[in-house]
Amino acid sequence: MIATSMGKRLRMRRVFRNGKALVLPMDHPIYFGPQPGTEDPARLVALARDHGATAVLMTAGALRTAVDCVGDLGIILRIDTTLSHMGGPDTIMHLLHNAEEAAALGADMVVLNCYLGIGDCQIESALLTKLATVAAECERIGMPLCGEIIPRVSYKDPAQKMPTSADLAMAIRLGLEYGFLHGLLPRQSARADHVDQPDSGDCCNNHPRFILLATLAGHH
């Protein structure tokens, strides 16, 4: 599909520079609410723009307050969310926008979340159905899709807090099967030298590239 490949390539060049990306994720308040330092999205976007970032990851609501500060930053739009931290388990999720709406809002990439191994077949099925639906739409319109696929397994050993290598490998493979171009892994879950990366010169190859995210202390 030449048109699809072209659309993804044109959008990806705004997120990656010379095959590398430095992304500031600032979508946490949609779940955690106001956090110190996040009160002014426009200021954060301007700081990212002026200090070497290539893209920001945020919701459309926050982006609206910062649109005049974006400059040449790539826009990775969070298009799903969960219940608030006051409302219930964070594994119950819903869409904020579909891929076409994200494109109309100016997104260069969209990001979705999915938990695996949570012990509830109906919830996990709903999450995977969401991923499949959005992945097909992104392929149709040429929108790069990033998946934040997080194993949430209850291990017998209470000291095992982070996903095992085997569970991370399962998440990575699932990303490939669902057609993600990129994936997010929490920094605590893996080291960059433990994740095989495709050739950085090709941002639209057939394998997902995984980006390690530094997260706020105590948060996923």
All domains of the chain in start order, with CATH: 2-213 (3.20.20.70)
- Residue 186 pLDDT grade (very low, low, confident, very high; cuts 50, 70, 90): low
pLDDT of 201: 41
List pLDDT tens digits, range 89-121. Answer: 888 899 999 999 999 999 999 999 999 998 899
Is pLDDT at 2 greater than 60 in this prediction?
no
Question: In this structure, what DSSP letter does residue 96 have?
Answer: S
- How many Cβ atoms are within 10 Å of 196's Cβ, its own excluded? 9
- Residue 205 pLDDT grade (very low, low, confident, very high; cuts 50, 70, 90): very low
Residue among 64, 150, 140, 47 at smallest CA distance from 107: 64
Average pLDDT, rounded, for the chain = 82
Residue among 48, 52, 21 at smallest CA distance from 197: 21
- How many Cβ atoms are within 10 Å of 52's Cβ, its own excluded? 8
Residue among 212, 94, 79, 108 at smallest CA distance from 150: 212
Which amino acid is residue 202, in one-letter code? D
Is pLDDT at 153 greater than 70 in this prediction?
yes
